[in-house]
Amino acid sequence: MKKNLLFLLIVTCCITANAQQYKKLHFDAILIDTHNDIPSTAIEKGVSFDQDLGAKTNSDLHRMQQGGVDAQVFSIWCDGNKPNPYAWANREMDTVMAWTNRNPKEMMQAFTTADIMKAVQQKKLAVLFGVEGGHMIENDLNKLDKLYKRGARYMTLTWNNSTDWATSALDETTKADSLKHKGLTNFGKQVVQRMNTLGMMVDLSHVGEQTFWDAIHTTSKPVIVSHSCVYALCPFRRNLKDDQIKAVGKNGGVIHVNFYSGFLDSMYERRTELFNAQHKTEIDSLLKINPEPYFADKFMFEKYPAEVVAMRPPLSLLIDHIDYIVKMIGVDHVGLGSDFDGVNSLPQQLDDVTTYPLITKALLERGYSEKDIRKILGGNFLRILKANSQ
């Protein structure tokens, strides 16, 4: 009996020590997420990041603090059909700055790695911007300059929609025969070169393969892939093929893994198809109101949460994508780009920004060293931000 009690005591102590280890590491490390869509989500839902948003969103200020987030690159986004996208970009930046200015003891804008470190020392959330979609500069390099001056530290060359100067992954794969051009035009290459000069990171998430290669061959600075996954594990057009992953490694860039179920799990699309078939009449009605499938999907997933939960993949798949990149090009080239508040399905356990420590726990369980975990959580982003500013 005494031996059994002693054994249970040892097991309990080991479990407790492991929990303390991953939490200590997580909250001691610098955690930087390169992609969160709360600005557009907050505007759509009429809420504010500095409120307690509970189940309304994946993110709010208090929950980011609970999750140990030290720096957040807030996505500045609008879809390709919105008129005056540059004005919309500034509106979203104004919104984020309103949150920041209302909470000077808890948030501060960051432009450089030094600013991020200052925010960490002061226990504030470092606020950066990432412009998601080159359409938001409206073919005007001066507008690119102005967005950089306001704090945009990367720009995704395309969103799902192509621009006049760069083709997207969606269009290169579904509209290839009707495209006027493929990849970067001469102006597109000028955009990349101007970004290099400014110190703005070139983001290759969402871009078509030809745009990817044109950008890799044009840039003089390391690139960022702000929220994408591995094609070999989940063959979706938004994910990176092996030769692309190797090219990012050779370039010195960093791939930040997306948490979206559909980019992690090769079976998720099939489960989604079954869901859509069961709700076809309702979805068709929504598409008549707004033809953009993203909005119909978002509405339906919010309406049927129990069905959505059953479709979610395990957290282990996210770690599989990180493992794949690390084994191919090394731990210096991977980070986290959650896409929180921009997607309608996340892996099991990753319900919101408070659950980030579970990633640290999972990485420790896979055998990653504390040094390497610190790189994945934020160290690699600090390196690439600094490399682009030089």
The predicted-structure confidence for 29-39, as pLDDT tens digits, reads as follows 999 999 999 99
More confident of the two residues 5 and 362: 362
d(CA 178, CA 302): 35
d(CA 55, CA 223): 34
Mean of pLDDT values over 284-312: 89
Task: Quote the pLDDT of residue 294.
Answer: 77
Mean of pLDDT values over 153-159: 98
Specify the 3-state DSSP secondary structure of 37: coil
> Domains of the chain: which residue ranges?
2-267+313-389
* Contacts of 348 by beta carbon, 8 Å cutoff, 6+ apart: 312, 313, 314, 315
Return the closest-CA partner of residue 255 out of 189, 330, 152.
330
Task: Quote the pLDDT of residue 345.
Answer: 93
Please report, as a single letter, which amino acid is at residue 347. P
Phi/psi of residue 202, nearest 5 degrees: -85, 120
Mean of pLDDT values over 258-262: 97
Task: Quote the pLDDT of residue 13.
Answer: 42
Length of the chain as a residue count = 390
Return the closest-CA partner of residue 297 out of 272, 324, 319, 330.
272
Mean of pLDDT values over 246-256: 98
DSSP state of 130: E
More confident of the two residues 12 and 75: 75
Q: Sort residue 135 into left (φ over 0), alpha (ψ -120 to 50) or beta.
A: alpha
Mean of pLDDT values over 330-351: 97
* Contacts of 30 by beta carbon, 8 Å cutoff, 6+ apart: 70, 71, 116, 120, 374, 377, 378, 379, 382
Confidence of residue 19 (pLDDT cuts 50, 70, 90): low
DSSP assignment of 285-352 equals HHHHH---HHHHHHHHHHH-HHHHHHHPPPTHHHHHHHHHHHHHH-GGGEEE---BTT-S---TT--S
Give the CA-trace dihedral at 102, 103, 109, 115, to 10 degrees. Answer: 150
d(CA 138, CA 136): 5
Return the closest-CA partner of residue 80 out of 90, 91, 88.
88
Using alpha carbons, list the distances in angstroms from residue 155 to 209, 236, 274, 278, 361: 17, 22, 35, 38, 31
Confidence of residue 177 (pLDDT cuts 50, 70, 90): confident
Mean of pLDDT values over 112-132: 98
Return the closest-CA partner of residue 49 out of 69, 32, 63.
63
What value does the mean pLDDT of the chain take? 94
* Contacts of 276 by beta carbon, 8 Å cutoff, 6+ apart: 283
Mean of pLDDT values over 170-192: 94
Whether the per-residue pLDDT at 26 is higher than 90: the answer is yes
Task: Quote the pLDDT of residue 335.
Answer: 98
CATH of domain 2-267+313-389: 3.20.20.140
Phi/psi of residue 163, nearest 5 degrees: -105, 180
Task: Quote the pLDDT of residue 18.
Answer: 61
Confidence of residue 4 (pLDDT cuts 50, 70, 90): low
d(CA 324, CA 230): 8
d(CA 340, CA 342): 5
Mean pLDDT lowest among 58-62, 304-308, 384-388? 304-308
d(CA 294, CA 314): 23
d(CA 383, CA 340): 23
The continuous run of DSSP H or E covering 274 comes out as helix 268-278
Task: Quote the pLDDT of residue 86.
Answer: 98
pLDDT in tens, 286-298: 999 988 887 898 8
Cβ atoms of residues 226 and 130 within 8 Å: yes
Confidence of residue 1 (pLDDT cuts 50, 70, 90): low
Using alpha carbons, list the distances in angstroms from residue 4 to 1, 7, 11, 15, 331: 5, 5, 11, 17, 42
Task: Quote the pLDDT of residue 224.
Answer: 98
More confident of the two residues 166 and 180: 166
Confidence of residue 12 (pLDDT cuts 50, 70, 90): very low
Task: Quote the pLDDT of residue 3.
Answer: 55
Task: Quote the pLDDT of residue 20.
Answer: 83
Task: Quote the pLDDT of residue 137.
Answer: 98
Mean of pLDDT values over 112-120: 98
Confidence of residue 24 (pLDDT cuts 50, 70, 90): very high
Task: Quote the pLDDT of residue 2.
Answer: 52
Task: Quote the pLDDT of residue 293.
Answer: 81
pLDDT in tens, 220-232: 999 999 999 999 9
Q: Give percent of the chain with pLDDT exceeding 90.
A: 88
pLDDT in tens, 261-282: 999 999 999 999 999 999 999 9
Confidence of residue 14 (pLDDT cuts 50, 70, 90): very low
Whether the per-residue pLDDT at 385 is higher than 50: the answer is yes
